[in-house]
Amino acid sequence: MPRFELKNPDYRAVATDMFVRQRAMQTLGISIARMEPGEVDLAMPYAPEFTQQNGFVHAGIITAGLDNACGVAAFTLMPAGSDILTVEFKTNLLAPAKGERFVFRATVVKPGRTLTFCEAGAYAINDGVETLVATMTGTLMALARRG
């Protein structure tokens, strides 16, 4: 039994299309690793171009991955013809973002007709071990798709 009520049976194709149209995610090398209704894992390889002065992935890059993971997770539960926009988020940085690759894992906590609340974690992966480096809570708003 699904955890969430699907409003669009084509959620996977529609959410994937929304994601691939985001050129920022392409620039960062972020891709969809897993997607289920109300849940998503995004993956990103380490790239020295996205580090700060100490060699850790910059907090802005980590935040972008978390925000997008929340957006995709929320979007999987929206009706056909919807669009999505983040209206608020809070990020907590817990450990230096140093890893071979990163996963941004988001889950919808409370879906809504207009506003959806999500939680996400960013994990650095080294030698197969995941370390939580940041968390996010986010609120996303469903919009009518614009032409």
Asked if residues 134 and 97 have their Cβ atoms less than 8 Å apart, the reply is yes
DSSP secondary structure letter of residue 51:
B
Higher-pLDDT residue of 146 and 44 is: 44
* H helix intervals, the chain: 11-20, 23-28, 59-75
* Residues 114-136, mean pLDDT to the nearest whole number: 97
Q: Where are the domains of the chain?
A: 11-144
Could you tell me the pLDDT band of residue 1, with boundaries at 50, 70 and 90? very low
Q: What is the pLDDT of residues 15-24, one digit of tens each?
A: 999 999 999 9
Q: Which two tokens stand for residue 61?
A: 């890059």
The pLDDT-based confidence of 5 (bands split at 50, 70, 90) is confident
Secondary-structure class of domain 11-144 per CATH: alpha beta
pLDDT (0 to 100) of residue 147: 59
Q: 82-93 and 115-126: which strand pairing?
A: unpaired
